[in-house]
Structure 1
Amino acid sequence: MLNLNEQLVHLLGRQIIQGKILPGTLLPKVEVMSEQYAVSRTVVREALKGLSSRKLVVSIPKKGTVVCARNEWQWWDPEVLSWACEDTPDYNFLQQLTEMRLAIEPTSSELAAKNATQEDIKNITDSFQKLESSAVNRSESEWAIADYNFHQSIMAASHNELLINLGNLLRNALLQSRQETIKGYSNDEKDSSISKEQALILHKNVYLAICKRNSIEARQTMYDLILNVNKILEKGKEKIKNEIKMNF
């Protein structure tokens, strides 16, 4: 249960991250916000401190509290990542997340092929089998969790503590990304490149490469897999553009 201060941080943080309060905006004075949100001035001040610690706002002498530019925000903060993924999906953010995965996960897969212990291989195998089961069951929530766990088992097998921690930190954002890619899977046989069946094949290619301890193949297959994710997000982004055009 969030206290009043945390509730206000959450409310304002979401509005900033989701573009409802734009960078450069001068926020109302503390006393005005106190009345607007029916909370004490102390609660408002504490909430602003929470936003400031995440670099979402900055206090400027003789001017007030201003929303910072997006490139100044603390994107690695778990709350900021969570706010970016709530409600309507931000495809630009999800694509940036996928681009970051393209820079990191092929290396993680390569390291896993080199460093994985027998216990690691067992964990990766178990994760892949659960991913297969979720595909058969056609459960979107099961698939999203199983997919995340499969990739995280590969991160663990890399034995790189920074990569493992990064995967944990991004958990909520990565789960949200998977929910969107699942929606993007096509049932059209003519568009099989972005079907769930094709996605499963791409995952299997990564799994087999790691089991064979072929580090070069493990890197390339993971790159191919995440490139496919980006293709699905591009499709979702295009769909939203077309829907906006139809509404005008």
Structure 2
Amino acid sequence: MKTYTLAVIAVLAVGIDAQGFKCPAKDGLYEDPRQCDKYYECVEGEAVAKLCPDGLVFDPLIRKRNKCDQPFNVDCGDRTELQAPQPKGPCPRRNGFFAHEDPTVCNKFYNCIEGDYTEITCTNGLHFDEYSGTCVWPDSAGRQGCKQTGNILKDGFQCPKETQKDANGNLVVHPKYAHPTDCQRFYVCLNGIEPRDLGCQVGEVYNEETQRCDAPENVAGCEDWYKDDPAVASKPAKKA
């Protein structure tokens, strides 16, 4: 999130500041030259100074009546000052999207609306980025000291750091890996980070070459996987 200089502003001071602002010929809403969350409403040449709700800033380019928006959507330029924050609970300001108060928890954030908040968890493998107000890939967020959350399965499997590419050289978003001892099972790494333990339907085994479930006779080393299961063995063989 952009860095701003805090300006402690009393209601009286806002009224006084409005006296020094010269309204343009056209009625409307106009930004303060120094403070990004302050603006003026001009009616017949008279200016009334106003503030956006704490956490939001004024965007003169928005065509709608309410021109206060999230900071990551607005280019404040030289308007670096802000009103004093009004924190409440985990919300450093009354409105906005904010990182979890624990800097090691990178996959959660707060959506604050007038001090009331909702804790939101990013999609598996993503981190919250305050500069964009969204969940992004960890390397894009660039956050340090983040805890790994649920990235190791009970059997010890962890998604490899090396990326996986398909036959055309394209990055595989959700790569799959064969189980080392169970032909029927395999792993999927969501977004390359979050592991899931999955399995083929009975009668099939995982084919690492095609990355699909297949007939046992088509997978080297797994041809006899169901030989001791009479119900499966009696079924017609699946063609490759």
Q: Radius of gyration: which is bigger?
A: 2
Higher RCO structure, 1 or 2 (CA under 8 Å, sep 6+)? 1
What's the TM-score, normalizing by structure 2?
A: 0.25
Higher normalized strand content (fraction of residues): 2
